[in-house]
Amino acid sequence: MALAHMDVAGSELLRVEKVDVSIDGREILNDVNFRIDHGEFTGLIGANGSGKTTLFRVILGLQTPQRGEVTVHGEPLQRSNRSLGYVPQKVLFDPDMPIRARDLVALGIDGNRYGLTRRTRANHLAVDEMLFAVDAQEFADRKVGGLSGGEQQRVLIAHALVSRPELLLLDEPLANLDPGSVAEIIALLHKVATQQHVAIFLSAHEMNPLLPVMDRVVYVANGRVASGTTDEVVRPDVLSALYGHHVDVLRVHGRVLVVAGQDSDESSSVADHPELVVE
């Protein structure tokens, strides 16, 4: 059975077509195909090391594929495309760094380039608007290094949004957050997507927190992807084709569990492949 590449209604914003990436002779991505439409909330789901960050680097123009193409609005990707915003996976802030939350957001006005920003009234209003959009106005004048993980994540999202991208890529923004903060960030991103008319592309290794808000899922395993709605992709036949052996999909109390099937051989057991447990 062919892997799913099913579309959700809407106008196309981003397309990744037939992308292959190898690094140091090791295949990372193989024949990757999917699209994201304007205003969609898309989850990029896969285990650590499955190629999610590499895929983001390709979309951002930081990694050149051996084959394939990325288009934005139907045009070939240009590096530093202002249609794309990005929140990286790991940003470490020195607790003593004097920069305030609003200062960090202001640095994103010139297209997410860190550096000096002109202090104009328009810029000040744009920063305030984004701080309000991510519910960060209460700690806008506090040092970024002294904020909690969830608060820092809000500031980084505002930093990426202030340049008005049409698509926001977030690399594992839920990692290392407590369950309460995870729920808050997901609700926040859903609100931002709706109110700011921004498409969201969020990578994670757990899909369940995203189920209520995802329009589309891009599921990656073995360097390949299947894309479509959750019901179209997260099925035994599609995921078995993706993993190369049988897997089962269990749905219990609104949660999804992907596990190695009973007919899988020893090399495909859950113990050997923890990515087959997606809670």
Give pLDDT tens digits for 32-59: 999 999 999 999 999 888 999 999 999 9
Classify 236 as helix, strand or coil. Answer: helix
Classify 244 as helix, strand or coil. Answer: coil
Question: Residue 195 has what pLDDT?
Answer: 87
DSSP code, position 94? -
Question: Residue 263 has what pLDDT?
Answer: 54
User: What are the angstrom distances between the C-alpha of 25 and each of 58, 64, 241?
Assistant: 17, 14, 24
Question: Residue 267 has what pLDDT?
Answer: 36
- CA-CA distance, 133 to 120, in Å (whole number)? 20
Token pair in block for residue 131: 């701080």
User: What are the angstrom distances between the C-alpha of 33 and each of 68, 205, 251?
Assistant: 9, 20, 27
Q: Which residues of the chain carry a pLDDT beneath 70? A: 1-10, 110-119, 261-279
Token pair in block for residue 161: 């949004």
Q: Are 43 and 202 in contact (CB under 8 A)?
A: yes
Token pair in block for residue 92: 């470490």
Q: Are 142 and 59 in contact (CB under 8 A)?
A: no
Question: Residue 269 has what pLDDT?
Answer: 35
CA nearest to 233, candidates 218, 245, 244, 253: 218
Structural domains of the chain sorted by starting position, each given as residue range(s) with its CATH number in brackets:
1-83+165-240 (3.40.50.300), 93-163 (no CATH)
Question: Residue 261 has what pLDDT?
Answer: 65
